[in-house]
Amino acid sequence: MFSTKLLWVVVALVHCVTAAATFAADAKPAWQLEWDKTVEAAKKEGKLVAAIPASAELRKAITEVFPKRFPGIELDLTNARGPANAGKIAAEFNAGVRYFDLLISGTSTPFNLLNAGILEPAEPLLILPEVRDPKRWFGGHVWLDNAKKYIYAFQVYQSENIWHNSSMMKPEEARSYDDLLNPKFKGKIGILDPRSAGAGTATWAFFLKIKGEEWLKKLAAQEMFLSRDQRQLADSLAKGKVAITIGLTYYTFAPFLKAGLPVKPLPDMKEGTYTSCGSSATSIVKNSPHPNATKVFVNWLYSKEGQEIYGKAMGQATRRFDVDTKWMVAHGVRASKDFLSVEENNRLENYGEDTVGKYWAASAKIAEEVFK
């Protein structure tokens, strides 16, 4: 009799424990259940293939941390210039090959893939609360495409991208972009070739946006020195072959500054400096081979840890409020969240689909016409 009662007590306890465990599992928030399921599915896929910016430091930083956070998911990262990565993705897609999962690039690159129907909506990938919550991001969630679902930008900032030789001119000689048209600067302005993707292209497009086509043609008539070699252009400024350079940033000039050469950034022109999303345009390849691993990677990348790692490797400023970006000022980068209102940032934006479609394409055409 006693043993029978004891047996029933044991059965009841097991039932209670099982019920409690089931309740605890059911008590998990929906996002946690989805996340756990996604991570397990990603491990079964076993791989993530991403095309990232041409930075060995970024590649190293990501591969040192991500695999430790998510063992079982192999990273296959192709670090190259955005147009090269996008071209490879497009060629493989058109050939029926599905190898890449996602692309992280500069501003205009992913629009070619979007217009070709190669991308799929990225918004469903956002799972973690710290990623999904728009209040954690300056300006909320920012999508570069007008549909606001295909190309996500996790950075926005301003760069000191107009520099001068302090032994050849004083900063007050160029306080407006109109001052660049002064005859005394003819043959003394160098620019990163706007016919090739890069900061020269972005600046050239911004000039068109705020100053107009005729002004742009007058600037081209200043007999500027064009180069696609950033080091060559910086060297020309340091040696006094030109007085001003357009399109180069602190990281190109760092060795010259260390050597004590007379190169300095010009203060902001009165018209303002454009805001850039840098190399943060994230797009997802349609029918990618590792959809769950893609979700895991994107959520990690947009997390506080992921943004800290990416920002330090690239020298570019995130939109996340909980990531410190003030240290970047010493390196010529001002995070919009630290210095601008959302309204000011949007007035100076140089990355949205309308801006890219209206000004980037038009300015590129003008560059081809005026620079033979």
In order, the DSSP letters of 11-34 are: HHHHHHHHHHHHHHHHHS-HHHHH
Distances in whole angstroms, Cα of residue 31 to Cα of each of 28, 35, 208, 284, 340: 8, 6, 45, 21, 33
CATH number for the domain spanning 41: value is 3.40.190.10
Alpha-helical (H) ranges within 212-324 are 213-220, 230-238, 250-258, 291-302, 304-314
Torsion, CA 250, CA 255, CA 259, CA 263, rounded to 10: -30
Lookup result for tokens 């032994």: 167
Question: For the chain, which residues score pLDDT lower than 50?
Answer: 1-2, 9-11, 14, 16-17, 19-25
Measure the CA–CA gap between 48 and 181, rounded to whole angstroms. Answer: 49
- Residue 291, in any domain of the structure: yes
- CB of 147 closer than 8 Å to CB of 119: no
Q: What tokens does 226 get?
A: 């064009």
Residue 235 in any domain: the answer is yes
CA distance 214 to 222: 13
The per-residue pLDDT for 8 is 54
Domain assignment present for 23: no
220 with 282, same domain: the answer is: no
Task: Say if residue 220 is in the same domain as residue 297.
Answer: no
Classify 165 as helix, strand or coil. strand
Do 235 and 296 lie in one domain? The reply is no
Whether residues 364 and 257 share a domain: the answer is yes
The structural domain count of the chain equals: 2
Residue type, 321: F
Could you tell me if 152 and 217 lie in one domain? no
> Which of 130, 124, 141 is closest to 288 using CA atoms?
124
User: Is residue 84 packed enough to be buried (19+ CB in 10 Å), middle (13-18) or exposed (0-12)?
Assistant: middle
Mark whether 166 and 230 lie in a shared domain: yes
CA 221/CA 182 separation, integer angstroms:
11
Contact present, 234 and 256 (Cβ < 8 Å): yes
**Do 37 and 151 reside in the same domain of the chain?**
yes
Kindly provide the b/e burial profile for residues 314-353, where b requires at least 16 CB atoms within 10 angstroms of the residue's own CB.
bbbbbbbeebebeebeeebbbbbbbbbeeeebeebbbbbb
Residue 27 has a pLDDT of 85
Ranges of beta strands (E only) in 20-87 are 47-52, 74-79
Tokens at residue 248, please? 């180069």
- In a domain, residue 254? The reply is yes
Could you tell me if 36 and 115 lie in one domain? yes
Q: Are the C-beta atoms of 250 and 157 separated by less than 8 Å?
A: no
Residue 21 forms part of a structural domain? no
How is residue 177 annotated by DSSP? G
39 and 152 together in one domain: yes
Instruction: Examine residue 232 and state whether it is found in any structural domain, yes or no.
Output: yes
Residue 66 in any domain: the answer is yes
Considering the domain architecture, whether residues 257 and 324 belong to the same structural domain is answered as no
Put residue 305 in one of left, alpha, beta given phi > 0 → left and psi -120 to 50 → alpha: alpha
Task: Print the domain residue range for 310.
Answer: 31-156+277-329
Q: What is the model's pTM?
A: 0.88
Residue 14's pLDDT is 47
* pLDDT score at 2: 44
Q: 136 and 184 share a domain?
A: no
Within 10 A of 126 (CB to CB), how many other CB atoms are there?
17
User: Would 20 be classed as within a structural domain?
Assistant: no
CA distances in angstroms from 141 to 106, 132, 302, listed in the order given = 17, 8, 11
Residues 288 and 264 in one domain: no
Q: What is the pLDDT of residue 12?
A: 53
